[in-house]
Amino acid sequence: MRDENNQIVGAAAVFRDITEVRQLAEEISSVREMKKLLEAIINASQDVISVVDGQGKIILVNPAYTRLIGMRREDVMGKPPTVDIRQGESVHLRVMQSREAVRGVPLRVGPANREVIINAAPLLVDGRLCGSVAMAHDISEFKGLIASRTGRAPLQEQACYTFDDIVAVGSAMRMALENARRAAATPATVLLLGESGTGKERFAHAIHSASQRSNRPFVRVNCAAIPETLLESQLFGYEAGAFSGALKSGKKGLLEEADGGTLFLDEIGEISPAMQVKLLRVLQEKEFIRVGGVRAIQLDVRVIAATNQNLEEAVKNGGFRKDLYYRIHVFPVFIPPLRCRRGDLTQLIGHLLAKLNWEYGRSVQGISEAAADMLARHNWPGNVRELENVLSRALIVMNFDEDTILTAHLPPLAPAAGLAGRYSPAADDLPLSPLTETVAAAERRAIAAALDGCGGNRAEAARKLGISLRTLYYKIDKYAIADDSV
């Protein structure tokens, strides 16, 4: 019917449609608001969250994930949940198979091999499995918290790095790596020699990880950081009531903590003559007595020692016991300074950038040619650690929309003598020890003689030697030139 009534019915239908559309629009907008709110909550969470869909593909990660795991959103989205795992099995896959939640699963994740504990649960909508959600917690944070509450340094009981985590391009470094690999396959005591920041600790981790003791503890003792008065009780532990302030139950020392595993004695050149005697006894007898105790405790540890000092020189001038030196000098591995392996620079920069991106929650892609050239011409007295610091500073000064390190982001770096021109990779890998040691010894002698000749006046000695005062201070420190010779 095409009468008036009909028209009224038609208009009512249009009005009803408009009302429905309006309601729908309101619902959509509130769903959008809810989605935004949920996203804001997930993004604000300090907990690391990742979600996979029903097909087991990653569909959501939050910024805390990027920071902790060290991988960018675009590197993981749409990928299987195993993409970020270094060690262990994917909890998402487990949850999807069992449709049950899991709690407290330890894993190692991301380029930095971060140790985390994961809880995960299935996403069930009307009984249908739609995916899985996981939350990761950084274990080192817990360890730090426990340490700050108990006042006790956290024990490092697992090695975090393998040989794959060591950049070694040039022949000198590859040789060091090869030696270390050989040493790892034996139970021999290893002595890591190299300047500060060359990667001795990383090598120690890698040797342990590749050894038969890899699933046993790895305990690092920084001999320079523990005060002399505490070193003995920290190393050997003590019996109940051994001294005032001692725990009633007594305490295990680091040696016992390392039993069955590896004991990493970092900065071994720093220990006092008295401790040298005690340590020698442990290495010879393979047993020790707790402070205040009488019972000898058997010990089964593999020792890796490291020093940035010239121990041979220290033995000659009486600073280090000869017998202890020979005990630890079983399998020496010399790690060359960065200035002698400039061919490693490009790869090191890439490796460190991945690590720093993770630490700073950034996604810096690379470095300009001019900036790389500037880094290649620096002498790197602080070695890889200095390079890491320079790159960290660059990341800090960069704006969030910049993804390439430019010279403007770098601090002033003095070009090394003889490297004023463009760096040529062919000039890589200066000769290895013993020539380096000979040169170092000659340098040490020259500096000590100059200081003597100038009555200890460092500014004058620096002028005579033709080096900056800063370099002189660095070298005095590096070669442990005693104050009395100054």
Interface residue with ligand ATP among 137, 385, 458, 464 (CB under 6 A) is 385
Say if residues 95 and 101 touch (Cβ distance below 8 Å): yes
Element (H, E) at 204: helix 200-210
Which stretch in 68-76, 99-107, 276-284, 381-389 sits in contact with ligand ATP by CB under 6 A?
381-389
- Of 156, 211, 308, 310, which one interacts with ligand ATP (CB under 6 A)? 308
**Cβ distance to ligand ATP smaller for residue 196 or 457:** 196
Going by C-alpha positions, the residue among 288, 149, 156 that lies closest to residue 220 is 156
DSSP 444-475: HHHHHHHHHHTTT-HHHHHHHHTS-HHHHHHH
Contact call for residue 389 and ligand ATP (CB under 6 A): no
Q: CA triplet 447, 453, 457: central angle to 5 degrees?
A: 80
Q: What are phi and psi of 285, to 5 degrees?
A: -85, -20
Can you tell me which of 110, 122, 194, 261 binds ligand ATP, judged by CB under 6 A?
194
Residue-wise DSSP of 37-53: HHHHHHHH-SSEEEEEE
Residue placing its CB nearer to ligand ATP in the complex, 211 or 308: 308
Q: How far is the CB of 275 from ligand ATP (least distance, A)?
A: 19
Is residue 419 a contact partner of residue 449, using CB atoms and an 8 Å limit?
A: no
Asked if 170 is part of the footprint of ligand ATP (rule: CB under 6 A), the reply reads no
Which of 199, 237, 253, 337 is close enough to bind ligand ATP by CB under 6 A?
199
Whole-angstrom Cα distance, residue 216 to residue 412? 44
Cβ proximity to ligand ATP: between 91 and 254 the closer is: 254
Stretch that binds ligand ATP, among 207-215, 368-376, 383-391, 408-416 (CB under 6 A): 383-391
Helix axes 345-360, 383-397, angle to 10 degrees: 50
384 contributes a contact to ligand ATP by CB under 6 A: yes
Task: Supply the DSSP string of 333-351, one letter for each residue.
Answer: EE---GGG-GGGHHHHHHH
Partnered with residue 131 across adjacent β-strands are 53, 123
Contacts 24+ apart (CB under 8 A), 420-427: 420/377, 422/373, 423/342, 423/373, 423/376, 423/377, 425/342, 425/343, 427/342
Q: Which of 70, 110, 170, 197 binds ligand ATP (CB under 6 A)?
A: 197
Comparing CA positions, the residue from 322, 83, 238 lying closest to residue 74 is 83
> Which of the stretches 106-114, 191-199, 293-301, 390-398 binds ligand ATP when contact is defined by CB under 6 A?
191-199
What number of chain residues touch ligand ATP (CB under 6 A)? 17
- Regarding 339 and contact with ligand ATP (CB under 6 A), the answer is no
Pick from 196, 214, 276, 368: which binds ligand ATP (CB under 6 A)? 196
Tell me the per-residue interface mask from 342 to 361 with ligand ATP, x by CB under 6 A, - otherwise.
Answer: ------x--x----------
Determine, following the binding rule CB under 6 A, whether residue 198 of this chain makes contact with ligand ATP. Answer: yes
Q: In whole angstroms, how close is the CB of 86 to ligand ATP at the nearest point?
A: 15
- Contact call for residue 176 and ligand ATP (CB under 6 A): no
- The distance of closest approach from Cβ of residue 54 to ligand ATP in the complex, given in angstroms and rounded to an integer, is 39
> Can you tell me which residue has the tokens 């047993």?
287
| Nearest distance, CB of residue 224 and ligand ATP, angstroms | 9
Count of H-run helices and E-run strands, the chain: 18, 15
What would the 3-class secondary structure string for 108-126 be? EECCCCEEEEEEEEEEEEC
Return the H-helix or E-strand segment holding 366. strand 366-367
Q: Does 136 bind ligand ATP (CB under 6 A)?
A: no
- Does 114 bind ligand ATP (CB under 6 A)? Our answer is no
Phi, psi of 122 (to 5 degrees): -75, 150
The site map against ligand ATP for 257-276 (x = CB under 6 A) is ---------x----------
Among residues 166, 223, 279, 461, the one that binds ligand ATP under rule CB under 6 A: 166
Which residue is closest to ligand ATP by CB? 199
Query: Which C-beta is closer to ligand ATP: that of 348 or that of 376?
Result: 348
Tell me whether residue 51 or residue 169 sits nearer to ligand ATP (CB atom): 169
Instruction: Describe the crossing of helices 435-453 and 458-465 by its angle, rounded to 10 degrees.
Output: 130
Name the site residues for ligand ATP (rule: CB under 6 A): 166-167, 194, 196-202, 266, 308, 348, 351, 384-385, 388
